Amino acid sequence: MSILRVLVDLLILVMVCQAVLTWIPTHPDSPLYSVQAFLTRVVNPIYAPVRRVIPPIRAGSGMAVDIAPMIVILVLLVVVLPLVSAL
C-alpha cells in the first residue's frame, strides 16, 4: 500500500470523525471540544471550494445540512483513490 493511499484513507477518516463530532453537543471546556475544533480546522480548507459552489442547505429554523463532506469523500473515493492505486 502506497503512502499516498494511506494519506487519502487517513483524510477520509478525519472527515468522517469531524462530521460525526459535529452532531454531538460539546461545551468549550470539554476535551472533546478541542478535538472537534482541531478536526474542523483541518478539514475546512478542503471543504471551502465545495461550499462556495454548494452552500449548506437550509433544513428548518436555524438548521442547515452541509453536504460538502459527502461530496469531498465521494470525489476522493471515486476519483483520487483509483488514481493513487494506479501509481
What DSSP string describes 26-41?
Answer: --TTSHHHHHHHHHHH
C-alpha cell at 9: 484513507
pTM of the full structure: 0.85
pLDDT digits (tens, 9 = 90+) for 5-27: 899 999 999 999 999 998 898 89
Residue 43: how many other CB atoms lie within 10 Å: 19
pLDDT of 83 reads 84
- The helix (H) or strand (E) run that includes residue 64 is strand 64-65
Q: What is the pLDDT of residue 12?
A: 94
The mean pLDDT value for 58-73 works out to 89
pLDDT at 1: 66
Annotated domain spans of the chain: 3-86
